[in-house]
Amino acid sequence: MVSDPDKKSTRSQKTGHGRKSENAIILVDIDSIRPCPENDLIYTIDPESPENKRLQADIAERGIVEPIVVSRDDVGIIISGHRRYAAACRVGLTKVPVRYYDIKREDDLDAFVELLVTFNRDQREKTFDEKLREEATRHNPCEAHLTLLEERNKPREIAEPFIIEGIKTRSEISPAKKPMLDTLFQVLEDNITPMTVRQIHYQFMNDPPLRHASKPNSWYRNKLCDYKNLVDLVARARIAGLISMQDIIDETRPFKNWSAFRNSGDFINRHMQNFLNGYWRNLQQSQPDHIEILAEKNTIYSTVNQIAQEYCIPTTSLRGYGSIYPRYEMTQRYFRSGKDRLIILIVSDFDPDGEEIAQSFARSLRDEFEIENIHPIKVALTYDHIKRFNLVPNMEAKKSSSQYQKFYDRYGTDDVFEVEALRPAQLQTLLEEAIDSVMDLDLFNQEREKEKSDAADIEAYRETILNYIKDYRNEESN
């Protein structure tokens, strides 16, 4: 079938000077135009697809309604209308309406391909791989690489190396250190690792070993020199392979590594593996109260967080009395929650400052940030915990502290204890007990069940999209 020029008279307009006008629609032999080779690299035309079958039937009945856009090359190169052209060929049309665009593929291939994509971008619904290839034509590799380098923002300047002087040697652990070494093994076996050396130090204070096996009065004490002995022993034990490097952690010395990849394939594979992983449902969203945990210092932060993450409760480490900003951030989280009451579970030392840190933080939120309904709870360490866990006194309160007299009047003792005197498992038990006492556990368990359903939904999405991407990459590699 051939399109009827009498039926569609606007298709046969010509300019008076013999040159094809850019707005003119002209009826031409189908053999005088041809598809653009680059189109096949970007778009896929399946003549047997239901969509193309419907197009063929429509063209067989009514002809081509929308003209094909072609270039001004000697043989017109199709810019827009490849599916119409393919359908016309399939149903046997010998003439088709075209509109000429003032560009030649042979003059500027890049501009031509960009125009090809521009014409096709808002056309029919495209497959994922077509959209990906379409988007790729818009990005120049050199410009993309410059952008990549700018994003790294990593100045590179190589300085002269210094000469390494001397030889580093550590003496072997002598039999005299066996009591301390045995206690170190026992502490690591009895507690959750990794531990800080400071936490190990306080476990040593609960059952002090001899610092020297042949010296009966060399009991481990809460002294700086003894602590340094422990630091040295731990270092030598790690280097000798007697304890694992991963058993010890030092949170006061942060480390940052940069994610770098051998090539784009490794980068894509890594992110495909991690795609839609790491989902956390807000298990606290249905709780009537907004709950937060406050830790006095970094040495207990990881121990506390192991429990906090199970309940999805925010945790703040103060490192002392803390600045205004952590208080402000907690206040903002509470206000955003829209809940009536703020519950703060506080973990701090049992000493004059540890007691006052809890008071000071809660007082600041009430008086400076105007939170009226605040419910602070001292989770640990308390006077009752000292009796419950039979903690051994090893320090006395500093009489020079401005909080000393208040502390002494309340408890009638000079003995003070840091939170690290508790074993990590003991501290976590206390924290779990406190959390369970302030939460609606039925609502919490309902959220956990919903998280399981969420996980199934995410996995279904993940598998579908990853399979789509894998199929695309397999097609590209073949």
Q: Same domain for 333 and 411?
A: yes
- pTM to 2 decimals? 0.54
Q: Please provide the DSSP assignment of 21-62 as one string.
A: PTT-EEEEEGGGEE--HHHHHH----TTSHHHHHHHHHHHHH
- Residue 296 three-state SS: coil
Same domain, 293 and 409: yes
- C-alpha 211/C-alpha 225 separation (Å) is 11
How far the first Cα of the chain sits from its last, in Å, is: 39
What is the Cα gyration radius of the chain?
37
Helix H or strand E segment including 376: strand 374-380
User: Residue type at 168?
Assistant: K
The pLDDT value given to residue 454: 87
415/331 same-domain check: yes
pLDDT tens figures, 283-297: 999 999 999 999 988
Domain co-membership, 408 together with 293: yes
**Cis-peptide into 179, omega within 30 deg:** no
pLDDT at 150: 60
d(CA 356, CA 264): 54
Query: 419 and 313: one domain?
Result: yes
Residue 122 included in any domain? yes
Q: What does DSSP say about strands 76-80 and 33-34: parallel, antiparallel, or unpaired? A: parallel
What does the alpha-carbon distance between residue 9 and residue 19 come to, in Å, rounded to a whole number? Answer: 19
96/226 same-domain check: no
Give the residue numbers spanning the domain of 363.
289-439
Phi, psi torsion values for 246, nearest 5 degrees: -75, -10
Model pLDDT for residues 53-94, shown as the tens digit of each residue: 889 999 999 899 889 999 998 889 999 888 899 999 999 999
Residue 460 lies in a domain: no
CA distance 354 to 295: 10
Which residue, 405, 420, 439, sits at the end of a domain?
A: 439
Q: Number of folded domains in the chain?
A: 3
The answer to whether position 412 is within a domain reads yes
Claim to verify: residue 307 and residue 432 sit in the same structural domain: yes
Last residue of a domain, one of 219, 247, 275: 247
pLDDT at 394: 75
Check if the beta carbon of residue 68 is closer than 8 Å to that of residue 32.
Answer: no
Q: Are both 74 and 126 inside the same structural domain?
A: yes
- Domain shared by 60 and 98, yes or no: yes
Residue 113, CA distances (Å) to 43, 77, 136 in order: 12, 11, 11
Tell me: do 236 and 102 sit in the same domain.
no
Looking at residue 152, its pLDDT comes to 52
Domain membership flag for residue 470: no
CA 249 to mean position of chain CA atoms: 22
Residue 283 is assigned to a structural domain of this protein: no
The pLDDT profile of the chain, 478 residues, written as one tens digit per residue, is 444 433 333 333 333 334 555 678 899 999 999 998 888 776 767 788 878 888 999 999 989 988 999 999 888 999 988 889 999 999 999 999 999 998 998 888 888 888 888 787 655 555 555 555 555 555 555 555 555 556 555 555 556 666 756 676 777 899 999 999 999 999 999 888 888 898 899 889 888 999 999 999 999 998 899 999 999 899 889 888 899 988 888 766 656 667 778 887 788 788 888 888 888 899 999 999 999 999 988 888 888 999 999 999 999 988 767 667 888 889 999 999 999 999 999 999 999 988 888 888 888 888 888 898 999 999 999 999 998 999 888 788 888 888 889 989 999 898 999 898 898 899 999 999 999 999 999 999 999 899 888 888 888 888 888 888 877 777 766 5
Instruction: Please provide residue 118's backbone torsions phi and psi, each rounded to the nearest 5 degrees.
Output: -60, -45
The CATH number linked to 357 is: 3.40.1360.10
- 327 and 228 share one domain: no
Residue where the block lists tokens 């810019």: 79
Cis peptide bond N-terminal to 381, omega within 30:
yes
Residue whose token pair is 């790729």: 136
